[in-house]
Structure formats: structure tokens, C-alpha cells
Structure 1
């Protein structure tokens, strides 16, 4: 019966068996995956950084998700087509300072999203055919400081979106080369050609169409001719010409003055040409020029100033490196009435006449840095509209009360790198609008109340690099708007309680590299800095000790505290209340302080701490309780701390830690528990750790190779130090298979087990297949019984007839006429009452549970039928498991007991349940049918009325 269905079931079981063995294969032979540890690079802010790695080939293990790739300062000599793996998100690549001399056609074709490419400082001589193929989205290309002499016609063919091209400091010689560049770049806005060997610029050799160029730089070329015959520079706003290092005279030939009518920024530094050509040049830009650079000029300086200042729109003039010394007189800038910015730096100026700037009434910015001035020029006093004055890097030894008295609008004053020793209280008296004052790198010994009452709007004050030894009381009391104060690299030893009074808006103060001690901090000098955000006390002489009034107790808004490198001898200890009051501290650096111990309560007062550096100390051990108050920690530096173990992490609860730097320590094993205790870890550095190359590190080796979350910095260079025979070898080269159980034994055991398994199955099937067959149907019946037994459906039939198809004639000719025709019972039969289209199993189960009784017509063929067995087992479940008398057995023939023995429930049934035997009813058929009628009439309860029939069991 149902041969087709049985065949499909067997095929399904075979498929499941195959799937099982496939899964087992995958478990024991896993597919290798690439981890996040790169051999030669690190990934920082989504950029692969491979700088200074002595690379001779491009790394292949860079993650495809990076947006930046920095390969600068290496030893690459050639870029080939197969060098770059697909990097679909890459936007920036830096190949600066390699030794690249050759680039193959299409070498960058896999970098389709690249926007910026840097090939500076290499040895490229020729740009061959289609060298930049694939870079259709490139917008910036820098290839300066190479040796490029030759360009091919298709070198730049793919760069249709390029906006900036810097090909400076190469060996291009012909203006026709520019045609090869510009022909394929319709969107090019900036072209930098400085430092090549171009001798002529002829527009007709380049193009006749209007260019999109905004910036053109031709400086440091030996140009003899600059000729423009058509209006190709309609968008040009910045033009750079000239060669300060050359002696060649340039001929200027622009056919129409309107060709450069949009140029607003002009640099002609070092340009040599006749006075007439210079006039023609300036006339070409007379209506648009706003900014002019004329550095290192060889023409008459006074004439150049007069010509340039006659341009009505020019407001900014840079005139550096012209060796003016004492050339500036009262008439030098006479015509420069429109100037707002004047840069005279690097001119060896020693003296400026008092009325030299009389005509510069609108001047707002004056730069006189890097000259030889010995005092502040009186000429600056006439510049009442001056906003910025730069006198840096001169020989100024002192400043007087009159020097800046008229510069009342000054906002930025630079006096750095001079020789000023003292100040007075009146020097800056009138500078009420000053915001930035640079006095660093002088020789200031004392401030003499220069800031006690003045400069109410000053925001930044630079006093670093002087010789201050003490900050007296109320020294900065007048600086109520000050935000940044730099006092580092002085000789400050003493502070008093009121040293910083008045600085209520100060957010940043730098006091590193001074001579401060704990005595200075005990004064409470920092108590006035209630809005301080950053405090740097690096490289002083501060020894922390328990204090009744902690030095930072009033700095509740402090976010960054730098305390590394105190110059102390012997072992040091950070007192428990050292950080008291710093409730908002985010960054704490206590590196290199000879600390030998950190109390568990050290960070109790800094619950928001995110960055902690305690490296280069002699801690040896750390407690997990130390980190209990700082659960927000994200960055931890513990290098050179002589730690022997990292087990403190296991109970530290640092679930937010992302960065761990643990170089140069004594531990040799990294355990699974340590790593798993840091679930947010993104970067870890164990460089210069003496690893044990044994089975204790197997988990760490596997994790380093396979994990996708945490980057293990420079993991491929981790070295072994133990045992002796592995010294000097790489940790990741360690053969972890030596730590696994003996493969031969595993293979022997597994093979033996499989063979024994199949032997047991074979013998069981051979000697007990009938029992197995019965058990299979028993389980099947139980499953379907558990599905239907809770359903209380009404009985549609009086009896379901279960029979073998070979016994169908008896059922149709004998059973059906008697029970339905004469006695009026309603029967359920396979061929008549099963629902078409429904599964056979569902039809059988539904029929049994929809009938009051089940009549099993049993013969030897019936017992051998799979579906008949399922029917009788389902019915028997209702009898034994539901305790309902629902089963009637009719034996068409005598069946020996041995044929019933595999059917345990059938034998149990015969011992407990009445049955009818048709083969013994030949003499009295009416009695047989009457007994069957009574059996159908009885109730379903097992303790109800039973038929007492003679049971003859055939032996």
C-alpha cells in the first residue's frame, strides 16, 4: 500500500542523513576566516595606516570598508594592476615618500570611489597610457616632487571629474604638455605647475576653449614667454608667476587686457620683466585685483610699490624677502592709500621713519615679523585703525607705555620671540579691544602688574618660554574675559592664594615644565578657576601627599588633567584624595611618575573618567576594585608598568573599554576570560610582550586571527620568549595543532566507533527488524494520538474498518452487507469515505477518532502492511492510553503466536480484550454476527459490560 508515499519518505530520510554528515564535516573542518589583525597596518578612524613600515609591496589584508589608505614613507617601487584589492569605499590614498618609478596601466582600476590621491615625492619619470584608468571619481591628484618628463595622450583620460592637479617640481618642458593635461579635465579648477622646466606658456598650444580654471600656478619655472591670444581664462581668479631663484626675463604678451579681468589674487614674486611689461601686467588686472604678492623682486622697489598701489581695487600687499633694511622712507608707501593689509616680513628692516605709514589710514593688518627692529617703530602709532600687528622675531628689548597708546582698535598683538625682559602696568593700558596677545619666547622675568587692571577683553595670552619664577597675587586680575593662558616652559616655583584671582572665565591653563611643588598647590591658587576645563601640570616637581584641602577641590568643571613626568626621586604614591572634587573629569594622564601603588579609592571622585594613562610606572599589580568607580572608561594605557597579569580585568566590569595599550609588560599569557571581560574592545596593543608560545596562548592566537571586532595592533610581529626553542619566533606562527589531542588516536577512536555503530545497527536490523518495525509504528501512533486525543469531536461513524486490500472481498461481500445492510450501522471505509486530496495519515487518524469503534480485520497480510499497522496502533492508543473500549478484533484466520510476538501491544491486546475468529464461525455464522452486533452496542468504558467469548489461542 501507498508505495509512492513510502518512497518519498525514505528519500527524505536519506537527505536528512546526508545533511547530518555535511554538518559534522563543517564542525570538524571549519572554513578559515580572516581576522582584524593586519600584518603591516593599523586601522584608525576608518583609515588603514601603514606609515614607515618599510613596505615593498602593498598589503592585501586591508579591510574593504576603509575610506582612507596611508602608505606614505615606505619602499614601494612599482604599482601593478594586481596590487590593490577591491576597496569600494576608499576615498583617500597617500603614497607620498616612496620610491615608485613605474605605474602600470589601470593599476588603480579597483579603487572606483577614490576622490584624493597623493603620489608626491616619488621617482616617476613617465606617466604611461591609461595610467589612471578607473579613477573616474577622482577630484584631487597630487604628484609633485617626482621626475616626470613624459606624458602620454591617454594618461589623464579617465580623470573627467578632476578639480585639483598638483604636478609641481617635475621636469615638464613644453606648454604642449599642458594640452595633454587639460584636454581630458573639463572640471579642473586648480592647476599647480610650479618648479618644472617650462620655458614658454603659449595659449594656442594648450587650448582655444574657455577653461574652468580658477587657480593657475606657474612659479619657479624658467618662463621666457607668457602669451595669451584668446580668452581662455574666463574663470581665473588666482594667478601665480615668477621665479625668485631664476635670472631669466619673461616677455609678457596678453593680446587683450580683458583676458585676465577676473584675477583677484596675483603672485609675481621673483618675476623679472621690463618696466613696461610690468605695467601691462598690472593693467590687465587693474579692475579686479585685490591681493598682490611681490616677494624677492629685482626691479626698483619704490617703482613697484607705486605702480601696484595705484591699482584702485588692491587692498592686500605682501612684500617679503626684498632686503629693504633702511630703504623705507617717508614716501615709500605714499600711493598706498587703499591698503588694508601690508606684509613686510623677512626684509632685514632696522628702522622705519615715524611718518612712513602716514598715508595708510585704512590699514588694519601690519606684519613686520622676522626683521631687525630693536624697538616698536613710532610709525605704528599713526595707524589708529590697526586691528592686527605682528612684531614677532625681531630684536625688541623693551616696550614702553607709548608704543601702543594710539592703537586702540588693536585685537591681536604679536611680540613673540624677542628679548623683552619686563613689562609695566601702562604698556597695554589703552588696548581695551585686544583679544590675543603673544609674548612667548621672550626673557620676561616679571609682569609688574601689566595685567592687573588692563585688557578686559583679552581671551588668549601666551607667556610660555620666558623666565617667570613667581605668579604674584592678582597678577591677572584685570583679565576677566581670558579663556586660554599658557605659562609653560618658565621657571615658576611659587604661587600664592590669589595668583589666579579674576580668571573666572579661564578654561585652559598650561603650567607644564616649570618648578612647581606641592607647596605651591597647597596655597589654593587654583580655587579661583571655577570654569577651568583643562589643566596641564606635566614635568614639574609635585609630590602628592594626603591633604586636608585637596588642590583641585574647587575645579568641579575640570575635564582634562595632565600630570605626567614629575621630576622626583624614589617611589611615589598618589594619595586617596588627590582627585577630590573632579566630578566631571574625563581625561587623566599620570604617566611616568614612579608610582608603585594606586589605592582602590583613587578614582572614587572621578566617576565620568573616560581616558586614563598610568603607563611607565612601577605598579606591578592592579586591583579590579580600582576600576569600580570608573565604569565609563574607554581608553586605558598601562604600558611599562611591570604587570605580571591582566586578570584584574575579569572582575573590573570595564564593559565600555574600547582602547587598551599594554606594551612592555611582564605578562606572557592573554586568557580568554580577560578578553571576554572587555566586550566593547576595538583596539588592543601588546607590542613588546614576551609571549609564551605554548598551549596557554592557543585561545589568544585563534582569537587574534579570527575576531572581527578588535584590532590587535602589529600582531604578526609578536615574538616568543618561552620556551627556549621558540625564542625569537613569531607568536602567530606557533603550531596550535600540537596542543590538540593526538590525531592518530582520534582517528582510530572515531573510526572504531563508526564501525561498531554500523555493526550494531546491522545485527539489530537482521535479528530484530520486526520489533523495530513495530516500534516505528508504535511511535508514529503515539505522535498522532497526542495530537487528536484532546479534541472532543462528535462521532460521525459507528466503526472504522481497518483491513488489508487483499481482504477487501470479505469486507465488501460479508462484513458490509451484514453491518450496514441488516444491522444499520454506519461504517467508515478507506475507498469510500476518505477525503480526496488530504494526506493519508490525516485521513486515517481523523477516521479513527471520528468513530466509536475500530474494527481490525486481521490476517497475516494485515500484520505485514505498514499502513494497517499504523491504524491498529492508533486505535490501541485509544484503548490503553485513553482507557476507552474502542477496539474490536476479527481474525480471518488462525495466526501463530510467534507472528504476533513482534507486536507487543497486539499480544497484550489478545490477553485483555475479547476478539472474534471468523475461521471458527463456519458452523455458526449467525452467532458470529450477533456477537459482533453486541460488541458494537457496548459502551466505551473499559469497566462496562464485556462480551464473554471463547478464546482459542493457536499454538
Structure 2
């Protein structure tokens, strides 16, 4: 077992989110048997037989505990730098080769506990000059080579608990280290502790644990431990045989903590031991777990201890005490902390603690008390009172009389069913009240008047069914309120009024419905930072939107937990449920049985960083859902039945560095997805339905090429498709066959793309206008062929083709003259085109449904796409039918080069006349006359048209 204060230095298994690294490059990496959290490598519980070879060269710590490693070889850690801890505990190591740790020059801690080492060789720890902690507990070590610790000059803590050391001389190489502070050699079959076997000079040791050794003698004949502060002799001796031989009491004068629990010493020798400390600085004495023969004389030991004037902590745990008489502590006035827990105390005298005038901390948990002892009323100096795990069923208004100095009161796990309004009336400065796991049904007025300085209140695990208005209104200083695991179904408006300083509110595990969480319920909680309403019965109708969002007043809330609603989930998350939570940083909404999320769900939470919506049945999400979340950095999407993550590609998640999408139905991961997450450093895709074929080649190569993104447990990803690969590992498939095919495909694709680019550039620069013209001719030809046999009589005299910028002239001049004065019927696109019909069909029908086409040409006209199409269709009709159907009307002077895109029209203008609007100041009569003649001309051969045979401009 590990001694108090010295735990196995293993890295926590909890998730430690990795900081954002490179942003410009996205590459993947995965260790075959390990995970990495903030440069702490975790390889525990993977049935490893050797040290993994793919560990990065520089890490903070390496944890390979709980595996099947049997040997540490010389080159296992070559060229690696581990700064803090190497944890090799809980393996099957029987041998460590010399110089195996030679390269770990900066290592601070090494844990070899719970292995099968039998010997510490001369060169086992060579190179560990900066190591400060060494765990060798729970091995089979019986021999330590004399020079094995010679170079460990920085070592401060050594744990050799539970080994096979029989003689103190084996630890001499250790105790002589210049900076050694703590030595734990508990349970090693040591039968003698004699100072001459340790050293012949003073050593710096401050903590010495000799517990659970069958010591027959404890002998100090020289002052070799002048700095010893903590001495543990618990469970030492055998059948009352341990003898105490301390030549000079001053040898132990510096000891502050002494543990004699379960000590196998005779009553006489126990008295001698205690008397050795009467003139010392002993401050903490533990006399727990004394055997029945010794425990009956507990009053004798307490009486002796009363002469230790410096004593402030006295522990009498598990000593089979049933009753505390008046005289037990009669002579003991100095302790400040008294621990009587884990006894069978059911009664005590009213004056049992009268003499304890300095007592500040009293622990009486795990006893058989049925009420608060009257004796505690005499403890006016008490700060902490622990009465947990008893049988107290009722609290009286006078139970805490005279305890006005009480700061912490612990009453959890009793049988209290109600709280009277006056029960806490004397506790003016109480800061912590733990009364969870009782049977409280109603609060009455217990928190309406008193406890103005209370900061923490734990009422979880009771039977409260409702919270009424003002139940906690006197708790002005309260910062944490725990109401988890009650039976709360309703909360009145103003239920938490008065709790202006509350920062944590826990309401999980109740029977709260959506009707019970209203805005007015949480009003007044202006400083609330965390709210948990998980595991309740909150549900909403499909597509519901709330009239009064419940969290609207919680503008400073940072964390919201609503996961696991019972029994069937929330069904729907209203789009405005989070309205008002502008400071929210984290939300946990997993396992609430929702199938979709409205795109506006998170528009109220622009500062959200962590989003957990796992264990729902989404199949997909809309990218717009994430657009209001520019700071999102961690997303949990496991167990959602996703078959694709395309929605993440367009979600703009540039700051996300933690993505968990395990237990879904993903088959193929492409580069587009990974490149859409430029800051990703942690990716968990365990238990998906991967395809193990060429479709996943990019993903496999991305995982193998270590750089930025850790793909957790990628080497354990199993194939599901195709069926012949089912059960294989994704990273084990042969991708070489894919590489050849892909290379050839990439070559052909790249070559074709280059050729097309060159050809396109050539055609654009040299033939672009001819191609545009040919396109429109072909289009007009198609429409003309389609309608040639079904052509009806002309519906209009002329179709007017013009640009919208010339519309004022068309409406103000042309339309008034031709329709108003001359009586022609014109077709105008803004007036006569059929709504809903394709525009090209409207153009073609207008041209072929009119006798003539008037093109009102200007510079803007030539730049318009649709005007270009109209003139192309009209000119095609002219050239195809050889009929006089086209009238060109120029509003302004246009150089010939601007007509070059219309090659056939330019050619036509060279041999035929056209109309030009007179310049400013010129008379327009001749213009209108010529236009009238052109319109009156029938659809005859163009050679017979008198207008089109002239060579002079009109």
C-alpha cells in the first residue's frame, strides 16, 4: 500500500484538452497503443509486453502502467527525454538492465511499484541525477546494491513499502543521500530498528514510515535523526513484544506527528513510549485501532498524553469506544482537533467534553448517535463538527446552542426528515453546511432567517419535492447550492430569491419538467456561473418556440448541463431555449433524444467553446448551426449515427482543436473535412464503420504522417467494409496497389487539365468573340427549327430589343411615336413577356412572332448579355430567311471596333443602310418618316427593299 501523502505518481486519466498548435498545416498522427494529453503520454492497460517504440522523443510524462511488461532493456528509452514522471507500475517487471535509464537525465519521478523486482543492481539507476521521487513499493526486493543510489544526489522521497527487506543495513545506501526527506519501508519484515544500523552520523530524514513491521525493538542510541518530523510505528510489534529503547528523550524532540495505531506493545511499554514525548514538540498523536486488551486502558494513554503540552491533534479512531464518561478527557485540555470516528459511540455524558476548552475540530462520524450530543454545547471554541454517518433523526432548536463560532457543520448520511425553522439560529458565521443523504421532506423556514454567512449548502440526496419562493432568501453569501437527487417537481417563481452571490446551482437527478423551469424561477441569480439540470424530465413539443425562455436572466452563466433527460428525453430543443446566455462557454446536451437542431439554436451563445450533443440521433446537422460560434474549440458528437460529416466542412470551425465523433457510422474520411479544421489537435473516431479500400487511402496516409492532429487509437480502428476485410485493422491494409492506380489517374487528370487550360487560354485570346457568336447562332437555329413548321401569324408589328439604360428613350420617344402617333403594335419585354417562361423562349417567340425586330443600339446595349442574345437571334432569322426583318437603330456614334463581336452584323452594315437618331438640335421628322417606311415594308426579299438598298446614312 502507498503511504499517506505519497501516491503513485501516475498521470490522470481524465481528458486534458490539448492547446492549439500549428494552424497552417493539417497532418495527422496516432500512437499505436497510447494517447497524448498536453504532452503526457498514456499507454496504460493495453496488454503491452515491451515499451512502445513510437513514443515522441520529448514528453512531460510517460505512463505504461497496468501492462504485461516483464523486462526493461537498455535501449528502451534511448534518445528520449521525459521531464516529470515515468510510470512503470503494475507490470510484471522482474529485471531492469543496467543503464536502462541512462538517457533520462532530467527525469523527476520514477514509479516501479507493483512489479516483481527482487534486487536493485549497482547501475540500475545510473543517469537519473535529477530524480526526486522513486516508487519501489509492492515488489519482492530483498537486496539493494551498495552503489545503486550513489549518483542519485537529488533524491528526496523513496517508497519501499511491501517488499522483502529484513535488515536495515539494506537501506543504508538510501538514508545517506544528502537531500533525502521521506523514507517509507512499511511491511518489510523488519524485526529490529537500531540507529547504529542506519548510520553513524546525522541524516536529513523528516518522514520515516516503519508501520506493519514485526519490530521487536525500537532503539535509538545516538542522535541520528535530528530532523525527524513524522514517525509512523502503527501495527508494529508482534504479540506485544516491541520494546522501546530511546536513550535520550531529546533524540525525538523534533517529532510533530506520531502514529501508534494498532501497535503491538504491552501496556507498560506503551506508557513508556508516550512518556518519551512529554517534553517534545509532538503536535499530532494517533492511537487508533488498539486491540481490546489495550483499548480498555485508553483513559491511561489519554492521561499520559495530557502531559504533552504541545499536543493539538488526537485521533482515537476504531478503538471500540461505546461510551464517553466524564473523566475520559478530564485532564486533557490542550487538543484542538479530536477524532472519535469509526467507533460504536451511542451515548456520552453531558460533560464529556467540558475540559476540552481549546477544541476547534470534532469528528464523530461513523458512530451510533441518535441525536446531536448535548455535550457539544460546551465546546464554545468549536469551528468544525462532523456527525456524518450516524442515526440522527431529528434536529432540535437548541442542538447547536453556544456554537456561535462554528464554521463547518457536517450532518450527511443520517435519518433527518425535517428542519425546524429555528434549528440554525445560533450559527451566525457558519460557512459550510453538509446535510445531504438524509430524508428531508420540507425546508420550513430553516433558511429564510438565519445563516447569513453560509457559502456552501449541500442538500442533495434528500426527499424535497418542491422549492418555494424565498426558501433560501437569508443566504446572502451562498455561492454553491446542491439540490441533486431529490424529488423536486416544481419550483415557484422567485424560488431562489436572495441568492445574489450564488455561482453554482445543481438540480440534477430530480423530476423537474419543462413547466418548472421558467425565467421567473431563476430571476435574481445574477452571478450564477454553472447550472446543472441534467437527468430530469424536461421535454418540449416538436418545433416549439418558447414565449419566455427560461435562462433569459442568466447573462453571466458559463456552464449549462441538460444531458440525459428521463424517461424518453427532450424530443426537441426549442430554437430560443438558450436566449439570454451570452456568456455561455460550455453546454452538455447529450442523450436527450433529439433528432435535429434549428439553425438559430446557438445564435444566442456567441462565446460558446465546448459543445456536447453526443448520444442523440441526428444523422446530419446544418452547417448554419455553427456559424454563430466563432470561438468553438471542442465538439462532442459521439453516438449520433452520423454517416457523413459534410456539414462540418461548411461550418467554418477554424478554432476547433478537440473533436470526438466515436461510435458513429462513418465509412470514408476525406481531405476536405480535415482541411476544414485547421486547428484540430485531437480526433477521436473509435468504433466507426470504416471502409478498408482505396477510398480511405488519403485518411490512412494522413494518420501515419505524424505532425499535428492526434488520431486517438487509430491503430485499433476496425474495418467493416468490404466484407472480406471485416475485422481487419484500418491502418494494416495494403495501400500500395491503390498508389499505382492513383498515380496514373493523377497523371492523366493533371495532363488533361493542363491541355484544357492551354487550349482554353488560346481560344479565349484569339477566338472568343467568334465562339460567342457561333453559340448564339446555334441556339437560334435550334429554336427556329423547332418552330418553323408551327409558326403562327405575326402577333406584333415589331419587337423592340433594347437595354434597360435606354428605357427612358424607348418609352418616352419610340413608344409614343410608333404606338401613339403611327398606330403600330410593339412587343416590349417588360410588358409583353410571359411570366414564368424561360427567358430565351420569350425572346425567340417575340422575334418570330413579330414582322420586324427593332434593335435600339447603344454602347450599353452591346455590353448586355441578353441584348446580345436578342440581336443574334434576330440576325440569324435575317440571314437564314433572307427576309427584311431587322431594323438597326443607333442612338449614338459607335466605332467599328466595338462591333467586332458581331461579325455578320458588321458585314451587313458595310453594304446596307441603317437608322441613326439625330444629334441634339436636329429635327426628328425625317427619322420618324424613314422608320415608318421601314415598318410598312412587307416581308419581301431584302434585295427588293428600298430602305435597305441605299448606301447613304438616313
Q: Which TM bucket (shorter chain)?
A: 0.7 to 0.9
- The equivalences for 1:385-404 within 5 A come to 385-404=381-400
C-alpha distance in 2 between matches for 1:513 and 1:206: 58
Q: Deviations over 1:793-840 (max 9, x none)?
A: xxxxxxxxxxxxxxxxxxxxxxxxxxxxxxxxxxxxxxxxxxxxxxxx
- Decide whether the 8 Å contact of 2:343 with 2:367 is kept in 1: yes
Offset, 1:128 = 2.6
Q: 2:365 pairs with 363, 369, 388, which one?
A: 369
Name 1:384's counterpart in structure 2. Answer: 380
> Are residue 319 (structure 1) and residue 333 (structure 2) matched?
no
Name 2:229's counterpart in structure 1. Answer: 237
Aligned to 1:292, the other structure's residue is in SS state strand
- Decide whether the 8 Å contact of 2:180 with 2:204 is kept in 1: yes
Aligned to 2:596, the other structure's residue is in SS state strand
> Are residue 308 (structure 1) and residue 301 (structure 2) matched?
no
**TM-score, structure 1 normalization:** 0.73
Q: Deviations over 1:856-883 (max 9, x none)?
A: xxxxxxxxxxxxxxxxxxxxxxxxxxxx
C-alpha distance in 1 between matches for 2:27 and 2:631: 31
> Are residue 154 (structure 1) and residue 147 (structure 2) matched?
yes
C-alpha distance in 1 between matches for 2:556 and 2:188: 55
Aligned to 1:525, the other structure's residue is in SS state coil
CA distance change for structure 1 residues 278 and 696 in 2, over 3 Å: closer, same or farther?
same
Aligned to 1:526, the other structure's residue is in SS state coil
Offset, 1:483 = 0.4
Q: Deviations over 1:419-456 (max 9, x none)?
A: 11111011101101000000011111111111111100
Aligned to 1:355, the other structure's residue is in SS state coil
- Decide whether the 8 Å contact of 1:244 with 1:297 is kept in 2: no
Aligned to 2:58, the other structure's residue is in SS state coil
Offset, 1:538 = 0.9
Name 1:252's counterpart in structure 2. Answer: 244
Offset, 1:744 = 12
Q: Deviations over 1:579-634 (max 9, x none)?
A: 00000000001000111000111000000000001111011111111100001000
Name 1:535's counterpart in structure 2. Answer: 531
Name 1:580's counterpart in structure 2. Answer: 579
Unaligned runs of at least 5 residues, structure 1: 1-32, 750-955
> Are residue 405 (structure 1) and residue 401 (structure 2) matched?
yes
Offset, 1:713 = 0.4
- Decide whether the 8 Å contact of 1:384 with 1:408 is kept in 2: yes
Q: Deviations over 1:364-415 (max 9, x none)?
A: 1111111111111100000011000000111111110011011000000000
C-alpha distance in 2 between matches for 1:569 and 1:748: 55
Q: 2:77 pairs with 71, 78, 84, which one?
A: 84
State the superposition RMSD in angstroms: 2.0
Name 1:418's counterpart in structure 2. Answer: 414
Which shows bigger deviation, 85-94 or 644-653?
A: 85-94
C-alpha distance in 2 between matches for 1:734 and 1:195: 52
Offset, 1:273 = 2.9
Larger-gyration structure (1/2): 1
- Decide whether the 8 Å contact of 2:239 with 2:265 is kept in 1: no
Q: 2:120 pairs with 105, 118, 127, which one?
A: 127
- Decide whether the 8 Å contact of 2:120 with 2:148 is kept in 1: yes
- Decide whether the 8 Å contact of 2:109 with 2:132 is kept in 1: yes
Offset, 1:477 = 0.8
Q: Deviations over 1:483-530 (max 9, x none)?
A: 001111111111110211111110001111110001111372112211
Name 2:205's counterpart in structure 1. Answer: 213
Name 1:845's counterpart in structure 2. Answer: none
CA distance change for structure 1 residues 574 and 282 in 2, over 3 Å: closer, same or farther?
same
C-alpha distance in 2 between matches for 1:270 and 1:350: 23
Aligned to 1:519, the other structure's residue is in SS state helix
Q: 1:60 pairs with 53, 58, 62, which one?
A: 53
Q: Deviations over 1:68-112 (max 9, x none)?
A: 111122121222212224322432112222222222222222221
Q: 1:261 pairs with 253, 264, 267, which one?
A: 253
- Decide whether the 8 Å contact of 1:621 with 1:643 is kept in 2: yes
Offset, 1:242 = 2.9
- Decide whether the 8 Å contact of 1:571 with 1:596 is kept in 2: no
Name 2:600's counterpart in structure 1. Answer: 601
- Decide whether the 8 Å contact of 1:92 with 1:115 is kept in 2: yes
CA distance change for structure 1 residues 508 and 626 in 2, over 3 Å: closer, same or farther?
same
Q: Deviations over 1:310-342 (max 9, x none)?
A: 11111111111110112x210100111111111
C-alpha distance in 2 between matches for 1:568 and 1:201: 63
> Are residue 101 (structure 1) and residue 60 (structure 2) matched?
no
C-alpha distance in 1 between matches for 2:74 and 2:139: 21
C-alpha distance in 2 between matches for 1:370 and 1:99: 39
Aligned to 1:528, the other structure's residue is in SS state coil
Name 2:35's counterpart in structure 1. Answer: 42
Offset, 1:482 = 0.4
- Decide whether the 8 Å contact of 2:62 with 2:82 is kept in 1: no
Offset, 1:568 = 4.0
Name 1:906's counterpart in structure 2. Answer: none
- Decide whether the 8 Å contact of 1:422 with 1:446 is kept in 2: yes
CA distance change for structure 1 residues 369 and 466 in 2, over 3 Å: closer, same or farther?
same
- Decide whether the 8 Å contact of 1:40 with 1:59 is kept in 2: yes
C-alpha distance in 2 between matches for 1:122 and 1:329: 49
CA distance change for structure 1 residues 730 and 274 in 2, over 3 Å: closer, same or farther?
closer
C-alpha distance in 2 between matches for 1:126 and 1:741: 56
Offset, 1:254 = 1.2
Offset, 1:247 = 2.6
Q: Deviations over 1:732-753 (max 9, x none)?
A: 122222223459989999xxxx
> Are residue 190 (structure 1) and residue 182 (structure 2) matched?
yes
- Decide whether the 8 Å contact of 2:171 with 2:198 is kept in 1: yes
Name 1:758's counterpart in structure 2. Answer: none
Offset, 1:279 = 4.1
C-alpha distance in 2 between matches for 1:314 and 1:322: 20
CA distance change for structure 1 residues 93 and 435 in 2, over 3 Å: closer, same or farther?
same
C-alpha distance in 2 between matches for 1:693 and 1:288: 71
Name 2:476's counterpart in structure 1. Answer: 480
C-alpha distance in 2 between matches for 1:283 and 1:153: 37
Name 1:141's counterpart in structure 2. Answer: 134
Name 2:353's counterpart in structure 1. Answer: 357
Q: Deviations over 1:889-917 (max 9, x none)?
A: xxxxxxxxxxxxxxxxxxxxxxxxxxxxx
Aligned to 1:596, the other structure's residue is in SS state coil
- The equivalences for 1:408-807 within 5 A come to 408-522=404-518, 524-544=520-540, 545-569=544-568, 572-741=571-740
Offset, 1:237 = 1.0
Q: Deviations over 1:266-290 (max 9, x none)?
A: 1111223345543443343323111
- Decide whether the 8 Å contact of 1:220 with 1:246 is kept in 2: no
- Decide whether the 8 Å contact of 1:405 with 1:428 is kept in 2: no
**TM-score, structure 2 normalization:** 0.73
Offset, 1:246 = 4.7
Q: Deviations over 1:170-229 (max 9, x none)?
A: 12111222223324x221100111122111001111211111101111111111111111
CA distance change for structure 1 residues 747 and 608 in 2, over 3 Å: closer, same or farther?
closer
C-alpha distance in 2 between matches for 1:702 and 1:748: 19
C-alpha distance in 1 between matches for 2:569 and 2:424: 46
Unaligned runs of at least 5 residues, structure 2: 1-25, 749-954
Which shows bigger deviation, 245-254 or 660-669?
A: 245-254
Q: 1:227 pairs with 219, 223, 239, which one?
A: 219
Q: Deviations over 1:4-62 (max 9, x none)?
A: xxxxxxxxxxxxxxxxxxxxxxxxxxxxx996310000100210011211111111111
CA distance change for structure 1 residues 743 and 337 in 2, over 3 Å: closer, same or farther?
closer
- Decide whether the 8 Å contact of 1:60 with 1:85 is kept in 2: no
- Decide whether the 8 Å contact of 1:130 with 1:157 is kept in 2: no
CA distance change for structure 1 residues 670 and 508 in 2, over 3 Å: closer, same or farther?
same
Q: Which runs of 4+ in 1 moved over 4 A?
A: 742-749
C-alpha distance in 2 between matches for 1:263 and 1:201: 17
